[in-house]
A and B are shown apart, each in its own frame.
Chain A
Amino acid sequence: MTELLGIYNYWIYIILMMIGFYGVIAKMNLIKQAIALGLFQTGIFLFYISMAVVDGGTAPIWTTIGDGSVKALGPYDNPLPHVLILTAIVVSVSVLAVALAIIINIKRAYGTIEYDEIQRLEGDDDA
């Protein structure tokens, strides 16, 4: 039990991701779908951040100590996943931006952002 609680941030990542996944699949409103997609990706950010943790680790800061040599303040978290996820956050923001831009255009073209109504209108396009 304590083992399961000890990795609670992984649970949060999975729960966040699944809420997002559910929203992407189940929501009819396109804006809600886009938000759910953002949530889905946020879950992954948390996963990357969690994996960087080192027991008792601090920020990866190196500093000059008394004798002039440069040393870390102590054991530090792996900074690489942090950097990676910074890139992924930028990507996720861009995805959201493109999604919203397309949704605005959908609203202009169809007059609605409800997926079921759009599908009905598209059925008319085919005829």
Chain B
Amino acid sequence: MLDIQANLPVLVVVLPLLGGILTTFTGRGLLPWAWAVAVTGTTFALTLRLMATLLESGAPYISYELGNWPAWWGIEYRVDLLNAFILLVVAGVGFVTTLYARLSVRKEIPEDRHNFFYAVWILAITGLLGITVTGDAFNVYVLLEISSLTVYALIAMGKDADRRALTAALRYLILGSVGASFILLGIGYLMMVTGTLNMEDMHNQLLRMADLNEHRTVLVAFAFLVVGLSLKMALYPLHMWLPKAYTYAPSAVSALLAATATKVGVYMAFRFLFGIFGVGFSFYAMPSHLILLAMASLGIVFSSLSAIRQTNAKSLLAYSSVGQIGYIVAGFSLANPNGVAGSIVHIFNHAVTKGGMFMALGAVAYRVGGTDLRDLRGLGKKMPLTMAALALGGLGLIGMPLTAGFVSKWYLVKGAFDAGMWGLAVVVLFGSLLALVYVWRLIEAIYFQEPEGRSAEATEAPLSMLIPIWILIGMSLYFGVDATFTGETAMRAANGLLGGAP
């Protein structure tokens, strides 16, 4: 009998990997979707179990050696509080968006491709979970490419609704591959110096080097990794692939990507900058905190300004996502407990908020047929529940009190004060102001205009869409009021990253 408990860390990846491949054999009709729900649901249950096991054991981490090879020879999967939390977010949002996907996918993608769609869908989630769980640097690259390749395919499947999905996917493919290649190079240079691929081993080897801060190979590795990771997490100004990809992807895919893909990019940055190079090298010896802070601040301001100019609600949210990545990056660049905790909390908060909002827009696309701001006119009367979710999500983006967005911005501002960076606190508040402007454009169209044209015939979204939307939006509200679990987990994870007692 398979011992599930002992093999939890690897099952989180193996189960959806096999499940995803098997999806291609599920034929047509409802079966591919039902199978995807079963696979992602079981995976979510496994990540819950993993989190519970970790908390019960009280140990700082669970280590799992693949094929019983000792960690420094083989691949080690290592689960600590940080990645258990991110796994929970990815698997949870993955499960909820799969629940949501049925009608949206049926409308946007021809039925003979549903089994392939759900196959790559599950494999994309597999890749993201794999990046999060692994403790081996090269394994990160392989799983990164698994998730990237499947995501390119998922975006391109939006071609039946709008042919621009194809060019958006190709653009993402080229930039994404260049980014991943930079990460591969960085890992290569690190291996040249340390002779190992195990992340913890790498860290220990680097610490042992006396001339670490001047060692040219290490510096080159660091430069390649920072640029590659920035591309992958869409840090301004390397975000050019993101807006179009999110705009033209099928609705369910936009929701999944906005909630998980860039967040896992940020997680990789945590592992490389804090885990492998260490805080001392990344943020004190190197000026990277200044560079990252500058990019993040510019990103918050300029992408929010771009968001204000958009006429398509999906691109508006996509540009807003680039700005929100700015908050997350600014948080961890502060390299103090409040800042890093704010960053981790915001990964969760933004995942549920933006995931819920993109799903609400997917419901609009389903009922109205488009997501232009013109298509949203007067929908507050026609689709009250969907639009209430969209509006509440919008308040979360602004960071209104009693929404989850407020909690993360609170940590961020506290972190900025701790670091003596008053400027960043100003940028965060200014960014909230800009968010108010673009969210207002949505709210104005929804509630202060009369239904017209296509939007006049719309009716409330079906229940199978409403429930997943409200699960995510409800969570963003719940964790805005009671942030004990997210806040404490993030704070402990942040202390772990910064080298203090977890």
Task: Give the residue name and chain of the B residue nearest to A51 (CB).
Answer: B192
Determine if B188 and A51 form an interchain contact, defined as CB atoms under 8 angstroms apart: yes
Which of A51, A88, A103, A110 makes the CB contact (< 8 A) with B163?
A110
Report B169 CB to chain A, min CB distance, Å: 6
Which of B138, B142, B164, B185 makes the CB contact (< 8 A) with A44?
B185
Name A63-120 residues within 8 Å CB distance of B.
Answer: 80-81, 84, 87-88, 91, 94-95, 98-99, 101-103, 105-106, 109-110, 118
Name B173-229 residues within 8 Å CB distance of A.
Answer: 173-174, 177-178, 181, 184-185, 188, 191-192, 197
> Given the complex of chains A and B, what is the CA–CA distance between A44 and B162 in angstroms?
35
Determine if B177 and A102 form an interchain contact, defined as CB atoms under 8 angstroms apart: no
> Given the complex of chains A and B, what is the CA–CA distance between A98 and B166 in angstroms?
11
Which of B141, B164, B174 makes the CB contact (< 8 A) with A122?
B164
A12-37, CB under 8 A of B: which get 1 and which 0? 00000000010010000010010001
Judged by a CB distance under 8 angstroms, whether A125 is at the interface is: yes
Judged by a CB distance under 8 angstroms, whether B156 is at the interface is: yes
B139-183, CB under 8 A of A: which get 1 and which 0? 001100100010011001001001110110110011001100100
Determine if A44 and B184 form an interchain contact, defined as CB atoms under 8 angstroms apart: yes
Determine if B191 and A24 form an interchain contact, defined as CB atoms under 8 angstroms apart: no
Which of B142, B164, B177, B188 makes the CB contact (< 8 A) with A95?
B177
> Given the complex of chains A and B, what is the CA–CA distance between A101 and B181 in angstroms?
21
List residues of chain B with CB within 8 A of the CB of A88: 141, 184
Interface of A is mostly: helix
Determine if B152 and A102 form an interchain contact, defined as CB atoms under 8 angstroms apart: yes
Determine if B170 and A125 form an interchain contact, defined as CB atoms under 8 angstroms apart: no
Task: Give the residue name and chain of the B residue nearest to A104 (CB).
Answer: B166
Determine if B142 and A91 form an interchain contact, defined as CB atoms under 8 angstroms apart: yes
Which of A41, A44, A106 makes the CB contact (< 8 A) with B166?
A106
Determine if A51 and B185 form an interchain contact, defined as CB atoms under 8 angstroms apart: no
> Given the complex of chains A and B, what is the CA–CA distance between A84 and B167 in angstroms?
31
Task: Give the residue name and chain of the B residue nearest to A38 (CB).
Answer: B177
Determine if B166 and A105 form an interchain contact, defined as CB atoms under 8 angstroms apart: yes
List residues of chain B with CB within 8 A of the CB of A30: 170
> Given the complex of chains A and B, what is the CA–CA distance between A109 and B141 in angstroms?
32
Determine if B149 and A95 form an interchain contact, defined as CB atoms under 8 angstroms apart: yes
Determine if B152 and A98 form an interchain contact, defined as CB atoms under 8 angstroms apart: yes
> Given the complex of chains A and B, what is the CA–CA distance between A84 and B197 in angstroms?
11
Which of B162, B164, B173, B184 makes the CB contact (< 8 A) with A102?
B173
> Given the complex of chains A and B, what is the CA–CA distance between A98 and B124 in angstroms?
14
Determine if B164 and A37 form an interchain contact, defined as CB atoms under 8 angstroms apart: no
Determine if B191 and A51 form an interchain contact, defined as CB atoms under 8 angstroms apart: yes
A48-69, CB under 8 A of B: which get 1 and which 0? 1001000000000000000000
> Given the complex of chains A and B, what is the CA–CA distance between A97 and B153 in angstroms?
11
Determine if A105 and B164 form an interchain contact, defined as CB atoms under 8 angstroms apart: no
Task: Give the residue name and chain of the B residue nearest to A48 (CB).
Answer: B188
Report B330 CB to chain A, min CB distance, Å: 29
Determine if A109 and B159 form an interchain contact, defined as CB atoms under 8 angstroms apart: yes
> Given the complex of chains A and B, what is the CA–CA distance between A44 and B184 in angstroms?
8
> Given the complex of chains A and B, what is the CA–CA distance between A21 and B489 in angstroms?
42
Which of A33, A81, A87, A105 makes the CB contact (< 8 A) with B159?
A105
Determine if A102 and B142 form an interchain contact, defined as CB atoms under 8 angstroms apart: no
Known contacts A44-B181, A84-B138, A95-B149; A125/B164 CB under 8 A: yes
Task: Give the residue name and chain of the B residue nearest to A36 (CB).
Answer: B174
> Given the complex of chains A and B, what is the CA–CA distance between A98 and B154 in angstroms?
11
> Given the complex of chains A and B, what is the CA–CA distance between A103 and B167 in angstroms?
8
Known contacts A44-B188, A47-B188, A51-B191; A91/B167 CB under 8 A: no
Known contacts A102-B152, A106-B166, A109-B159; A24/B188 CB under 8 A: no
Task: Give the residue name and chain of the A residue nearest to B312 (CB).
Answer: A126
Report B192 CB to chain A, min CB distance, Å: 5
List residues of chain B with CB within 8 A of the CB of A81: 188, 191
Name B382-413 residues within 8 Å CB distance of A.
Answer: none
Known contacts A87-B142, A95-B149, A118-B167; A105/B184 CB under 8 A: no
* Interchain Cβ contacts under 8 Å between A and B, 8 examples: A24-B174, A40-B178, A44-B185, A44-B188, A47-B185, A87-B142, A109-B159, A109-B163
Q: Told that A41-B177, A84-B138 touch, could you supply 9 new A-B pairs with CB distance under 8 A?
A: A33-B174, A44-B181, A44-B185, A51-B191, A81-B191, A88-B184, A95-B145, A102-B152, A102-B156
| B residues with CB within 8 A of A | 138, 141-142, 145, 149, 152-153, 156, 159, 162-164, 166-167, 169-170, 173-174, 177-178, 181, 184-185, 188, 191-192, 197
| A residues with CB within 8 A of B | 21, 24, 30, 33, 37, 40-41, 44, 47-48, 51, 80-81, 84, 87-88, 91, 94-95, 98-99, 101-103, 105-106, 109-110, 118, 122, 125
* A-B pairs with lowest CB-CB distance, top 3: A109-B163, A91-B145, A106-B166
